[in-house]
Chain A
């Protein structure tokens, strides 16, 4: 898993690459969660996220919960279809905004 996290004014921009799996989920949370609280919008760019498993979705739920606690909004953008399918399957699109590669940013 590759993570690129940077601030864009009021937005925390996270670019994730590779796979978000059970073995990476803790690392993902450890990296991201401490940064939540300073922004009103958290954007996760999933363009390079190839694969995600149930532990990965658990990590995203945790991220959403953190955002909600601080009143921030979470959005997942440029989600590849395979990941988007799992996000829909796990109903995470009901928590966070999920946009695919073709959706307007």
Chain B
């Protein structure tokens, strides 16, 4: 109830009977009034409170409305900013091309802020060059030359120093610009671009020209937000460029490494290396300075020079300047600017002058070494401008230098190896010559036994060997062998074996008995060979033309083939153990095997190079190929047969590379002149001797030798008659046989008697020349006479076969 409101109280006058009753009634009324007043006051208070509350509410509502308006504005600004930032970020994410990002960003910001110019500066972005992009409206556009100079301005320096936004609302009145700016720039807002680690990467600026503009807080904040995004883009781009550069350097390093591993031509490697490193690092020069170990001077071995630099010149020598510049515990010399380099103080004037003459402003030298050996330096020059060699670049160059060190070391090793190989090859050639000389004594195939040989060593020096020895004109020993392994070691053992062979062939006891020969040879090799694992296989056969037979023994060697017309068979010669592996005391002696041959029969002896040959696909040829190849042997003359077999081997192996030495020896039992004597009748003897002499004369025996040959034949035949034509043998019709040949200015013959032989060794010991014979002796002149007449007189060990040779 308000104070203006009225209320009626009723007074019952009937009760006003007296004063007391009046007073009582009035008191009652007063009480009522008081109560009413109290209620009214309370109401009034409540009203007042309510009014105040309403006022407060109104104020509050007003505040809320203001706040909402502000918030709406802020939200609108925020959305706008977010939209702008989103566009910037989207662009940043869409490409790594910083140029494009920056150009688009300045365009975007220029339009957004409605300014005359907007620009971004990234100092030292690439190879010490600033990256500057500027947006400008119409008349306010400037050439790149002009806006690229922004970094020189005091405004730029202020921002990068304070790392705070520079807000200039009016350049005419601002302390930094007042009276300094010549251009029509009135308002400027410049914000630093700061990376996450608080590192400055550049600035972004807005220019308002001619008309003044007051930059709002929102605008500053907006540009700062954009600056953050731009800084991220720059960082991202730098990282990308670094990654790309790292990848390209890795690629270059891999190329360098693979080239070093792929070729041994050090000049090609180093030449390409300096070019590629020089180009990759955009250096003015890249060169290798090799230290001459003799003179201790540096000499340029390979050099790359960029177009804007002059070459120092390959082979140009320098004193060891780098050694003076290098500091302890630092393994390279990196000089950003020679003009400001304190270390140059360590050099003398001449050396400094020398450095200046190179026109290099910046210098990097990384050691080229392998293990502890220093070969020289991999050097880079940046001419005219200073260059700060980054850790990354130095690490890369060190990796490259390490590869160059490997290459040089490799080349030195190759050089040493080549030298060694040349020496070895020379020695091998000498060894081959020596081996050839050693073997030549046993390689003469001109015997009464037709022999053909084909020898294809796998190496200069060979492990295969053969030896042909005429024990008598009608008896030819053929030894063929193969030392395990190839090359010089095998050749050395071959040399030793040849020495042994010579000795054994001089000994009648071994020369004429194959099993004794191989046993003695095996024991000798075993004795010399106990501490190595070399061994040899050998086959030794004695071909007797007069008796048409072979006696042979085999020490682990492939058995020869016998070709009897179309019948091809292996000689069952019972091969024993190879020579030198075991003592014959342990494995037992070898055995002699005798095979009868017919005139025209051929025997082919060979080494395992013929049977253990791989085909082109890698499989070994089947063993049967050789017997198959021999089937048509009679189509070829004996002299052509071994080469024909080798030719067939090449066809069968599909021209696969030779696996081993190849040696083939083929013989053929010849037709021969033979006369048999069943008694010693002189007339028959005279006739037959005359027959032989006539034949010999018809084949070239000079008449001057006729009487000697006649005397020799008669002496030898009478000797055989005396020992062989015993009564028993005459009865058994066992003859004395004689065969003879005349070829190559040589008369040779062999006489065999059926007797037990005689002790010719004793006879020779006593009387080998006529002067040994007592002039008064009535006998004992036969043997010395034979020795005087003939060039060679050989008996078999038993003394019942003799061979006589006369040359003219």
Contacts and interface: CB of A to CB of B under 8 A. Distances in A.
* Bound pair (A, B): yes
Interface of A: 19, 21-24, 51, 53-55, 57-59, 61-62, 65, 82, 85-86, 89-92, 94-95
B785 interface: yes
Nearest to A23: B682
A23 B417 CA distance: 77
Interface string B772-793: 0101111101100100100000
B770 interface: yes
B707 interface: yes
Given A22-B722, A58-B781, A86-B711, 14 more contacts: A19-B682, A23-B682, A51-B711, A51-B714, A53-B711, A53-B785, A54-B715, A54-B779, A61-B775, A65-B778, A89-B770, A90-B781, A91-B770, A91-B775
A74 B459 CA distance: 72
Contacts, number: 60
Q: Is the interface of B mostly helix, strand, loop or mixed?
A: helix
Given A21-B714, A21-B718, A62-B778, A90 B682 contact: no
A82 B770 contact: no
Contacts of B778: 58-59, 61-62, 65
Interface residues of B, number: 23
Contacts of A95: 775-776
Interface string B679-690: 010100110000
B710 interface: yes
B806 to A, nearest CB: 15
B682 A94 contact: no
Interface in B682-700: 682, 685-686
Given A21-B682, A51-B710, A90-B770, A57 B718 contact: no
A54 B784 CA distance: 10
B718 A55 contact: yes
A95 B714 CA distance: 25
B318 to A, nearest CB: 90
16 contacts: A19-B686, A23-B680, A23-B682, A23-B685, A51-B714, A53-B714, A57-B781, A58-B781, A61-B776, A61-B778, A65-B778, A85-B707, A86-B711, A89-B788, A90-B770, A90-B785
A54 B781 contact: yes
A54 B788 CA distance: 12
Contact of A90 (B685, B707, B773): B773
Given A58-B781, A86-B711, A89-B788, A94 B718 contact: no
A92 B781 CA distance: 12
A96 B648 CA distance: 71
B789 to A, nearest CB: 9
Nearest to A82: B707
A22 B133 CA distance: 132
Contacts of A51: 707, 710-711, 714
A12 B779 CA distance: 25
A60 to B, nearest CB: 9
Contacts of A92: 775
A54 B785 contact: yes
Given A58-B779, A90-B781, A94-B775, A24 B682 contact: yes
B231 to A, nearest CB: 124
A49 to B, nearest CB: 13
Interface in B716-762: 718, 721-722
Q: For the complex of A and B, list the 5 residue pairs with the smallest distance between their C-beta atoms, beginning with the closest.
A: A54-B781, A58-B778, A22-B718, A82-B707, A54-B782
Contacts of A61: 775-778
B232 to A, nearest CB: 123
B20 to A, nearest CB: 216
B767 to A, nearest CB: 11
A89 B682 contact: no
Nearest to A86: B711
Contacts of A24: 682
Contacts of B711: 51, 53, 86
Contacts of B715: 53-54
A24 B680 CA distance: 11
Contacts of B714: 21-22, 51, 53
Nearest to A59: B778
A68 to B, nearest CB: 9
A102 B655 CA distance: 75
Interface string B227-251: 0000000000000000000000000
B760 to A, nearest CB: 15
B777 A89 contact: no
A90 B779 CA distance: 11
Nearest to A55: B718
Nearest to B711: A53
